[in-house]
Structure formats: C-alpha cells, structure tokens
Chain A
Amino acid sequence: MSSRSTGETGLVQLLDPEGARVTTPENESYRERVAHVKGDDLRGMYRDMLLTRRFDDEATALQRQGELALFAQSRGQEAAQVGSAHAMAPQDYVFPSYREHGVLHVRGVDPVDRLRLFRGQDHGGWDPTEHNTHLYTLVIGSHALHATGYAMGVQRDGLVGTGDPARDTAVVVYFGDGATAQGDVNEALVFAAVNNTPQVFLVQNNQWAISEPTTRQARVPLAERGLGFGIPGVRVDGNDVLACYAVTLEALERAHSGGGPTLVEAFTYRMGAHTTSDDPTRYREREEEEYWRRRDPIDRLGALLRAEGEWDEVWAAGVEAEAEALGERLRTEVRALGAPPTAAMFEHVYATPHATVADERAWLAEYEQADEPADHETATEATR
C-alpha cells in the first residue's frame, strides 16, 4: 500500500483537529483570504454542518424504516461541502454527484426535494435553474463533462474576467476519489485544460470507493492528477471547514478572473457506509474510524468557537431546535410523498410529441381503464 496517496501530506490546514488555529508561512495567503470570516460567519458554517448531519441521520432512519429505497450519507464530509459551497457566488453553477447534501443545503435546495430521488418518487427532485445547482448524477464522473461543457458555455457568454463580482461565473463539479479513475473525469480535465474553463474540480477524497481504498484508484495524491493535464492542484484538509472555504475561494477567484480550472482534493473521510446498502465493517477497521472520529469537522469548528469566545448557548440551542424541526419535517413530509400518477412515466420523455410514447401512453390508459371493473369484480368476490 502506498503511503503517498493515503498520507496526510501537503494539506492546506487552518484549524488543527483540536480546533486551534494553524499559523504557518505556507498557509499565510489562505489565512489572509479568510481573515474576514468571523463570529456570525463561523457560526453559520457550524449551523450548516449540523443541519446537514441531521439531514443524514433522519434520511438514514427513514431508509431503515423502508421509506427510502437507498441513501448515501455525507457524514464526515460536512466541512468539505459546506466550506466549499460558502465560497461560491450565487451565479456559480454546481454539478454535484449524489452525496453532496451539504452543498445542496447551502445552495438552498429544499431538504424534502433532495430525498425524492431516494424515495423513488422522482429521478431529479428540484429545479436546477432555481438554485444554479444541477441534479444528482449517479453514473460516476459523467457530470464532470457536463460541468466542463457548461463552463465552455459560460466562457462563450462572456461571463469570465469581466471584473464584476456579480457577473463573473464559474462552475464547480463534485466527485469522489473513485471517480478519478473514470475516463469521463480524465476527459473532462483534458477539455477543461485546453479550453481554460472557469471551473473547479472538487474531489472529496473520502478514502473509500464503496469497499475499495483510494490506493486502488491512484498511486499519487489526487491533487497531483491535475498537473499532468496542466491544471493546478491543491490538497486541503477536508475536515477543516475554514481551509476548505479558503482553498475553494482561491480556486474560484482564478476561475472568475479567467485563470482557468483548478483541481482541489479535499482529504476527508466518509464516516458512514457508501450507501445504506453496504456494510463498512466488512472492509475497514474500527481503529481507522476512531482516528477520523477524533478529527470530526463539526467538533473541530465547535472547539474553535468555544476557544475564541464565539460560542453562544442561546444560539446553540436555537440551532438544535432548528435541527429538531428539520427532522420532524422530513419524517412527516417524506412519508407523505406518494407515487406520481401512472401517466407521469410518459411525461417529458421528449420535449416534443413522439408517436411511440403517445401510443404506449394511450394503450396503458385504456388497459388500466378496462382493468378497473375486473379488479372491482375480484374485490367484490373476495368480500363475498
């Protein structure tokens, strides 16, 4: 096993695992970049991470109760997601994979809508244009190309390097360590590099692609993957929300100004299973999980807030109450999400009428209508 790809070397870090500020010559530019992030901003990030975790817990419980077909937790990755999402401008466009619940929370995507896919009620769940946040993509790495093409469109729209922070636009695409092995991600890096797209590739290296460790995907730190494509790479402590924010901010500044794409590797850990379908105890050690539990991103920021006198008990109680309300809402509203009408399976297959769809839709409607009396008769017989 290569220690080079799994080791925590070369990480940008602003908070150590105990929540103390890290002051090194190497991180000076990042410290300056986030010098303005204080009190309310830090508490806001804490709140977002806490609500994301509560979302995870409730969704996992709902899956265990049979209310969701599947769920993919973001537990442990809250700092990488919330920190990076806080760095974005509203006009920036996000392409998530499928566990970016913290990113979607920050982007304002409704929590119930985020679960429609997992409920089997919708293949999407929200309006991407409303939040500048694309739908989840389940085929690993496919969306890296969509993000690159979208960024090529942003370039053509003349929204790069305008100097106007309200207009300059970038695209952020999230994927995992496993996806870096996919051809599509590598092709996306090629297209992004040669087109100098306004783009951030944000790899959340959570150490495990289902049961396969990162060492099965790469022999070098993933951030170094960018170099061969001519794309700068940055490695950041993914459990340090402040560092994730700073590093993404730098990458977005580069993208907005016309400096091109950046590959960010957020070195983090998936505390839960890949999805509710797998069992991590079959493939990883308890010691490893304990090690990462001590590096928890939420605890880390909480410790900083306490150490710097920014912790406010009234505020903390308010956040807890908000989390309780979120849980209650998910339990109630997700259970209420029924099946769409049968005809919905034929809607939006095409943007314009298609004879085959129209024929089959009409056939099924007729069949179901003809079938109703038969069902009724059966039901009547059964009650006799």
Chain B
Amino acid sequence: MTAQLLAPTTTPTGATTLTFAKAITLGLRAALAADDKSLIMGEDVGRLGGVFRVTDGLQAEFGEDRVVDTPLAESGIVGTAIGLALRGYRPVCEIQFDGFVFPAFDQITTQLSKMHYRSRGRLQVPVVIRIPFGGGIGAVEHHSESPEVLFAHTAGLRVVSPSTPQDAYDMIRAAVASPDPVIFLEPKGRYWSKGEVDLSAPPAPGILDTARVARPGTDVTLVAYGPTVATALKAADALAGEGTSAEVVDLRAVSPLDIPAVVASVRRTGRCVVVHEAPTVHGVGAEVAARVTEEAFHYLEAPVIRVGGFHAPYPVAKLEHDYLPSVDRVLDAVDRSLAF
C-alpha cells in the first residue's frame, strides 16, 4: 500500500472523519515520521497490517526495520522491545488480542515496569504495548478480555484507553513520546466507529494523565473509559429524556487515575456510577468508589455504584450481551442511586 492510500478523507469544512482504527494508524504514522528511533513490532503487523489492519500500509511506507513482523512469541516481543529501548529505540509492540498478553505478562510486570526504578532513573524503557481489548464483537475464547487492572496494579506502568478517534490519535502519539512504558488499550469494539479528527492537533503529553468531561450534567456522574464511554453517553441520552442530567467523565487513564476530576464532578452531582467491562470485583470501579468516598463523602447523596463484568471468565459470545454493562444496566444503577 502506498502512503497516498493512507490519506484521510477531508470534508469540505476541513474536519476529517476517520474510523477509530484509522485514527490510531495515522497517530502511529505521525509517531514513526516524528522520530526515526520509533518502530512497530508484533505478529502480522507488516504486510497484513495487523489482524485489525491498524498498522495497514506502515511497513510499505517505513520499511521492514521500522515495522517488524516478529516470531509468534509474546514474551519475546516485549522482552526484545525492552532491549531495543535500552539501546535508545522507542518500540511500539502490538499484542494481537487481550487474552494473548499473558505470555508476556512476566516481561511487562517484572522487567518493563521496574527497569527505570531499579536503575535509579539511569535507564529508560519507553515501550508502548498496544492491546486490542474488551468484548462485544462475538469473538471466541481469549479474544475479549479486560486485563487493565492487572497492569494498573503494577507500579511503573501507565495504562490508558482512548474512547474517541480524536483521543486515539492524540493519545497514541503521546504514548509513543512518553519516556514511561505505556499499556495502550484499544477498545476493539469501537475500531469501526467514526468521528472527527483534527490531524493537525499539536502533541498533548498531558492527555495520558487527564480525564475529560465527555458530557456535562448536574444530577449524576457516570465514570467510564475506553469502550464503556459510548455506553455511558447512550445512557445519558436516555436519562435526558427522563429529565435526569448525567455528567459523563471519560477517565482516559486507568493509571494514574485522575481522581481530582472525578471528585470535582461528584461534588457537583452528588452521585456516582462507575461503568467498565472488566469484572467489578477488585476493579477500577472499586478504586474510584473508595477514593470518591474518602474525598467527597459529604457530597454524596448515595453510595458509589459499580456496573461491570462478573467474577467469571469472559463468557461465550452468545452470552456476552448479558455480561457486558448495557445501557439498561447503567440506567438501573442510576435509578438505584437516585432512589437512595
């Protein structure tokens, strides 16, 4: 594929409409162009362009040394990326699916996360690990998991997930530029959704630390990230029809959590519902609930309520609609909060 084929569609107004996946592609392309020490490595990322085609066309444009088809060995991908980073490179690893990251889990948690720490800052390992994550696409076992807490619990890693094409474009560039290792979780169920993207947006390094208010509101705060931001926004639409004003906070980052942003919102609304696909037990929602309780207890009109997956392996595709937090389950949680 030529570079020309990567060119986005530009509308007459100057805004650019892109799919989520293409926004990441162009973010990666910008990162590769900006720094010749950056490179992409993973299974099938070259000629195939990745199983989701996120790296489509990049090998043709940047060559086989910059977009590297690796052996089928996840620990090897991350472990060699660490070595490349120690030599001054900025590798972006693609893990094909969420459930396949575990062979690399040791390298990520015992090595990647700690190299800067145990060298007392003498060594940096600016490795990005891209993982298509989450469910809702009718996939088979190991293809729909939400492992974010396992990484967020590990000091030394930054864990982020974009929810819009614009954020995907901005956040992947920020992740590649970050001197810290970043677990970059791509909500695969959103890959084909479209949105406007300003490709001339300047780099936004703070975007990996900062939540955003996706929709302002006054009666209840819905906290979400990645794939469930869209669910929360749909729920907010439905609530608006019922006369309830919901504010949606998109965390963007799971580590670090932007607690001040969540607390500020809850102080305005008095109620908080956290929505994520990962199991609620020991999850991000538990952390948000604890922090909100500590820092905004007197503002709360109701307990913080969590909506998420269950303490069961990700179910078969025929049952995932019962597992994933639906708009109805979010509305039910809001009703419980309002009724408290």
Cβ-defined contact, A142 with B87, below 8 A: no
A129-B122, A191-B73, A349-B117 known; A147+B83 contact, CB < 8 A: yes
Cβ-defined contact, A127 with B122, below 8 A: yes
Interface string of A164-183 (1 = CB under 8 A from B): 00000000000000000001
Which of B85, B123, B180 has the most chain A CB atoms closer than 10 A to its own CB? B123
Which of B65, B120, B126, B259 has the most chain A CB atoms closer than 10 A to its own CB? B120
Cβ-defined contact, A149 with B123, below 8 A: no
Cβ-defined contact, A135 with B119, below 8 A: yes
Q: Which A residues lie within 8 Å of B65 (CB)?
A: 156
A139-B111, A191-B80 known; A123+B118 contact, CB < 8 A: yes
Interface string of A133-160 (1 = CB under 8 A from B): 0110101001011111111111011000
- Asked if B55 is at the interface (CB within 8 A of a chain A CB), the reply is no
- Asked if A272 is at the interface (CB within 8 A of a chain B CB), the reply is no
- Asked if B299 is at the interface (CB within 8 A of a chain A CB), the reply is no
- Asked if A351 is at the interface (CB within 8 A of a chain B CB), the reply is yes
A356–B124 CA distance with the chains assembled, in angstroms: 20
Interface string of B122-163 (1 = CB under 8 A from A): 111010000000000000000000000000000110100000
Cβ-defined contact, A142 with B116, below 8 A: no
Chain B interface residue number, banded? 35 or more
Distance in angstroms from B175 CB to nearest chain A CB is: 12
Grouping DSSP codes into helix (H, G, I), strand (E, B) and loop, the A interface class, with mixed when no group exceeds half, is helix
Contact of B75 among A150, A183, A354, A355 (CB under 8 A): A183
- Asked if A369 is at the interface (CB within 8 A of a chain B CB), the reply is no
Distance in angstroms from B173 CB to nearest chain A CB is: 15
A128-B123, A153-B87 known; A139+B82 contact, CB < 8 A: no
Q: Which B residues lie within 8 Å of A349 (CB)?
A: 116-117, 155-156
- Asked if A184 is at the interface (CB within 8 A of a chain B CB), the reply is yes
Cβ-defined contact, A150 with B83, below 8 A: yes
- Asked if B52 is at the interface (CB within 8 A of a chain A CB), the reply is no
Contact of A139 among B84, B106, B123 (CB under 8 A): B106
A157–B120 CA distance with the chains assembled, in angstroms: 26
Q: Which A residues lie within 8 Å of B178 (CB)?
A: 351-352
Distance in angstroms from A32 CB to nearest chain B CB is: 34
Cβ-defined contact, A145 with B120, below 8 A: no
Q: Which B residues lie within 8 Å of A154 (CB)?
A: 87
Cβ-defined contact, A152 with B259, below 8 A: no
Cβ-defined contact, A150 with B155, below 8 A: no
Cβ-defined contact, A352 with B179, below 8 A: yes
Cβ-defined contact, B118 with A135, below 8 A: yes
- Asked if A357 is at the interface (CB within 8 A of a chain B CB), the reply is yes
Cβ-defined contact, B110 with A149, below 8 A: no
- Asked if B199 is at the interface (CB within 8 A of a chain A CB), the reply is no
Which of A147, A156, A187, A191 has the most chain B CB atoms closer than 10 A to its own CB? A187
Cβ-defined contact, B120 with A184, below 8 A: no
Cβ-defined contact, A146 with B111, below 8 A: yes
Distance in angstroms from B257 CB to nearest chain A CB is: 7
Distance in angstroms from A231 CB to nearest chain B CB is: 14
Contact of B81 among A129, A137, A149, A184 (CB under 8 A): A149
Q: Which A residues lie within 8 Å of B306 (CB)?
A: none
- Asked if A122 is at the interface (CB within 8 A of a chain B CB), the reply is yes
A154-B87, A157-B87 known; A146+B256 contact, CB < 8 A: no
Q: Which A residues lie within 8 Å of B71 (CB)?
A: 187, 190-191, 194
Cβ-defined contact, A190 with B117, below 8 A: no
Interface string of B62-83 (1 = CB under 8 A from A): 0001000011010110111111
- Asked if B29 is at the interface (CB within 8 A of a chain A CB), the reply is no
Q: Which B residues lie within 8 Å of A184 (CB)?
A: 75-76, 79, 106-107
A142–B155 CA distance with the chains assembled, in angstroms: 19
- Closest A residue to B179 using CB positions: A351
- Closest B residue to A134 using CB positions: B86
Distance in angstroms from B145 CB to nearest chain A CB is: 21
Q: Which B residues lie within 8 Å of A156 (CB)?
A: 65, 87, 89
Q: Which A residues lie within 8 Å of B79 (CB)?
A: 142, 144-146, 148-149, 184, 187-188
Distance in angstroms from A345 CB to nearest chain B CB is: 9
Cβ-defined contact, A351 with B121, below 8 A: yes
- Asked if B59 is at the interface (CB within 8 A of a chain A CB), the reply is no
A152–B83 CA distance with the chains assembled, in angstroms: 8
Distance in angstroms from B308 CB to nearest chain A CB is: 21
Cβ-defined contact, B76 with A347, below 8 A: no
- Asked if B209 is at the interface (CB within 8 A of a chain A CB), the reply is yes
- Asked if B188 is at the interface (CB within 8 A of a chain A CB), the reply is no
Cβ-defined contact, A188 with B76, below 8 A: yes
A144–B156 CA distance with the chains assembled, in angstroms: 22
A350–B122 CA distance with the chains assembled, in angstroms: 12
Q: Which B residues lie within 8 Å of A150 (CB)?
A: 83-84, 86-87
A327–B65 CA distance with the chains assembled, in angstroms: 49
Contact of A352 among B87, B91, B120, B180 (CB under 8 A): B180
Q: Which B residues lie within 8 Å of A145 (CB)?
A: 75-76, 78-80, 82-83, 107
Q: Which A residues lie within 8 Å of B103 (CB)?
A: 183
| Apart from A190-B76, A354-B256, 5 more pairs, CB < 8 Å | A122-B118, A124-B122, A190-B71, A354-B255, A356-B257
Question: What are 21 A-B interface contacts by the 8 Å CB criterion?
Answer: A124-B119, A134-B86, A139-B106, A139-B110, A139-B111, A142-B110, A145-B82, A145-B83, A146-B82, A146-B83, A149-B87, A150-B86, A152-B84, A153-B83, A153-B86, A184-B75, A188-B79, A347-B120, A349-B117, A354-B158, A355-B257
Interface residues of A (CB under 8 A from B): 122-124, 127-129, 134-135, 137, 139, 142, 144-154, 156-157, 183-184, 187-188, 190-191, 194, 347-352, 354-357
- Closest 8 pairs between A and B when the two form their complex, measured CB to CB: A149-B83, A145-B79, A153-B87, A123-B118, A149-B80, A187-B76, A150-B83, A351-B179
